[in-house]
């Protein structure tokens, strides 16, 4: 079943450019609409998760809707790298022995 876009979702979608060459930063988009960066990101997440709109981003370069598979892949690369780093971090934190890590790192330093 189709989900209808809210008025704010429609407005934000109209401000997201098509094609990587036309990408815009969140700051530029938020200046065009009465939303701060966090609120704007929330609406963009809604467009992606609820409505399956393929919005991608280039770190420090802006957001856009890709027009080709290569634009999609380039726009997803930063997100994939970030996800990989987060998964590594989770694995490390889960594997650390909570009783012995401090002694291994600090050598017999007293607990604080």
Q: Is the pTM of this model over 0.75?
A: yes
What is the longest distance spanned by two Cα atoms in the chain? 62
Q: What are phi and psi of 18, to 5 degrees?
A: -95, 130
Classify domain 7-96 at the CATH topology level.
Arc Repressor Mutant, subunit A (1.10.10)
User: In the chain, which residues have pLDDT < 70?
Assistant: 1, 108-112
In the chain, what are the domain boundaries?
A: 7-96
**Looking at residue 108, what is its pLDDT?**
67
**Looking at residue 1, what is its pLDDT?**
59
DSSP conformation class of 18: B
Burial class (CB in 10 A: 0-12, 13-18, 19+), 112: exposed
């Amino acid at each position: 079943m189709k989900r209808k876009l809210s008025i704010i979702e429609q407005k934000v979608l109209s401000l997201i450019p098509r094609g990587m060459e036309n990408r815009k930063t969140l700051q530029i988009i938020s200046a065009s609409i009465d939303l701060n960066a966090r609120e704007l990101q929330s609406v963009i997440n809604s467009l992606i998760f609820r409505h399956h709109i393929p919005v991608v981003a280039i770190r420090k370069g802006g957001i856009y809707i890709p027009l080709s598979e290569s634009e999609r892949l380039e726009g997803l690369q930063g997100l994939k790298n970030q996800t990989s780093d987060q998964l590594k971090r989770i694995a490390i934190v889960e594997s650390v022995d909570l009783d012995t890590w401090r002694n291994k790192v600090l050598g017999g330093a007293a607990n604080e």
